Amino acid sequence: MLCWLIFSLLFLTMRFQGLRSLFSVAINFVIFLALVQFDVAWNQTYFFWIFALGALIFTGLSLVIVLGFNKQCWVTFSSIIIGTGLGLLLGYGALWLTDSKGLHYEALDMATQDPEQLFFSITLIGLLGAVMDAATDIVSTVFEMKASMPEVSKTQLFKSGHQVGKSIMGPLINVLFLVFFAESFAIGVLYFRTGNTIAYTFEWTMSLGVVQSLISGIGIALVVPTAAFLAAQALGGKKDVSH
């Protein structure tokens, strides 16, 4: 019932664009299941790279299906990869410098492989979604602006894209934390009801989620200027915009 409701709402509000978005979600879900099955079947030691490759495939397929194979697609793809890569590298670097103090990777539910790699695989997928959301909005706005005002300069395009990014950055980060709070609510209540302290409960049930949200926030902050810059450079000084 819920699936039909989503299907109907997407079609009513976005017509065939909504159906393409839904189709991309279905394709990515199938690919994700295939990657998980591959990891389980082969029991890979360095399985993080399987999901890193999957992230590239998810991004490329989603953008091609929704936007088409064009300049806007390439600019958005480049922005997402740069923002996601830098965000993950900075997050990993910070954890490496602090020796992951206070984090318990083994607290991940049902972890049957290296919990640290599992944590970063989960973080990568969440980070990718947040960065993709921000980059798509920024690049789309810049392309629409260029289409409506062909004589606009690169500087104006960059400033407009950057302004859009700043306006959506706060709400996006808040959404990430709200999703995290919703996911950890039940287990947090359980820990409190069994007499655990706030510090102990946070360390074992919430710290990993907070770090994931912070890394996603870093990615969003980085993709804002990146997407605005790449879009402005791709369009600045040209009168023709092909979507």
Going from the C-alpha of 40 to that of each of 27, 46, 80, 115, the distances in angstroms are 20, 12, 28, 15
Lowest-pLDDT range of 91-100, 167-176, 230-239 = 230-239
User: Over the stretch 78-95, which tens digit does the pLDDT of each residue have?
Assistant: 999 999 999 999 999 999
Q: Can you tell me the distance from the alpha carbon of 182 to that of 175, in angstroms, rounded to the nearest whole number?
A: 10
Mean of per-residue pLDDT scores for the chain: 83
**When comparing pLDDT for 215 and 107, which is higher?**
215
**Is the pLDDT reported for residue 65 higher than 60?**
yes
Express as a percent the part of the chain with pLDDT over 90: 27
User: Over the stretch 43-61, which tens digit does the pLDDT of each residue have?
Assistant: 767 788 888 888 898 899 8
**Is the pLDDT reported for residue 243 higher than 60?**
no
The whole-number pLDDT of residue 7 equals 57
User: Over the stretch 119-141, which tens digit does the pLDDT of each residue have?
Assistant: 888 899 889 989 999 999 999 99
**When comparing pLDDT for 45 and 145, which is higher?**
145
Q: What is the mean pLDDT of residues 14-28?
A: 69
Q: What is the mean pLDDT of residues 238-243?
A: 47
**Nearby residues of 179 by Cβ (< 8 Å), 6 or more positions away:** none
Q: Can you tell me the distance from the alpha carbon of 141 to that of 229, in angstroms, rounded to the nearest whole number?
A: 13
Instruction: For residue 122, count CB atoms less than 10 angstroms from its CB and return exposed for 0-12, middle for 13-18, buried for 19 or more.
Output: middle
Nearest to 92 by CA among 138, 124, 64: 124
The whole-number pLDDT of residue 136 equals 92
Nearest to 54 by CA among 44, 184, 172: 44
Q: What is the mean pLDDT of residues 178-203?
A: 83
pLDDT band per the 50, 70, 90 thresholds, residue 241: very low
User: Over the stretch 154-169, which tens digit does the pLDDT of each residue have?
Assistant: 889 999 999 999 888 8
pTM of the model: 0.82
The whole-number pLDDT of residue 221 equals 92
